[in-house]
Amino acid sequence: MLLAIWAVGIEPRWVAARRIDHRVPGWQGPPLKVAVASDWHLSPRAAWRVMTPERARHLVEEINAAHPDVVLLPGDFIADRDYETASGEPAEVEIAAILGGLRAPLGVYAVLGNHDWWHGGASFRAALEQRGIRVLENEARQIDAGLWLAGVGDHYTGHSDPARALREVPADRPALVMMHDPASLLDMPPVQGLLVAGHTHGGQVFLPGIGAPMVPGAAPRQWAYGWVQHRGLPAFVTSGLGVSILPLRLNMRPEWLLFVLDAAVG
């Protein structure tokens, strides 16, 4: 009984703010603070989906208080296709207004997740960009001198094209690469910098000696959470902020991340 109370009533709401120092070979310039907040799964249904608009607004304030240089949002902003707002406006408009409160001098960027595509990908992209959040779907842009950011489309819904996303990124320049589904790493060209993904929620349940019993999509189960590697290419898979299917988490707290990028020593 106590375990059920913890897994349903406490841990899904116990959001961690984690700092991760990441050394990048060839990095030039001062350290860069990169906030990553994935899988919000917003819904007005507090008991079932946990991440209400009110909770999301508090998290936006918390992320802003860390003063990130750039914010990455790797998709799945909505939980329910039947999301109804109190004002009667479209769900994506309300969600975009909340996330539009995020602030960073180099900008706030997003990719769409499978839930966003199921709700209406084009309308979600338009709503986010109306609020100043640049959506990168298999495209890249230079966000600072010598620094590129690429967004890879969602693998789960068939939108992933890493080669297209990275084709304009110079081979000798560091890049931030954001994808929703870590399965996109399977097709990722060589790139130097920071790669991040969401989608798995860390399995929501992480068992000792077993790990996540299952993960959605084509990524290996071992890629549920944390640093993973494919063909020598490392990426970090975050547990995200919300829940899906069932409103529970066990040994897998929700989180947002603050990466601090700096030059590799030696």
Query: What CATH code would you report for 2-263?
Result: 3.60.21
Residue with tokens 């560091």: 174
pLDDT in the model for residue 234 = 95
Q: How far apart are CA 263 and CA 22, in angstroms?
A: 8
pLDDT in the model for residue 87 = 84
- Beta bridge partners, 139, equal 151
pLDDT in the model for residue 266 = 45
Token pair in block for residue 250: 């066990």
pLDDT in the model for residue 265 = 58
Domains of the chain by residue range: 2-263
Model confidence pLDDT, tens digit, residues 3-13: 888 898 899 99
Token pair in block for residue 224: 């549920």
Q: How far apart are CA 162 and CA 159, in angstroms?
A: 10
Query: With contact defined as beta carbons under 8 Å apart, do 253 and 17 qualify?
Result: no
- Beta 16-24 vs 32-36: how paired, if at all? unpaired
Element (H, E) at 54: helix 53-65
Please spell the DSSP secondary structure of 135-173, one letter per residue: E-SSEEEEEETTEEEEEEPPTTTT---HHHHHTTS-TTS
Q: How far apart are CA 188 and CA 162, in angstroms?
A: 5
Q: What is the dihedral of CA 187, 191, 192, 197, to 10 degrees?
A: -30
Token pair in block for residue 234: 């490392």
pLDDT along the chain (266 residues), means of 10: 86 97 86 98 88 97 98 95 83 97 98 96 97 98 93 98 97 94 97 96 94 92 97 96 94 98 73
Identify which of 234, 241, 163, 165 has the alpha carbon closest to the alpha carbon of residue 200: 241
- Predicted TM-score (pTM) of the model is 0.96
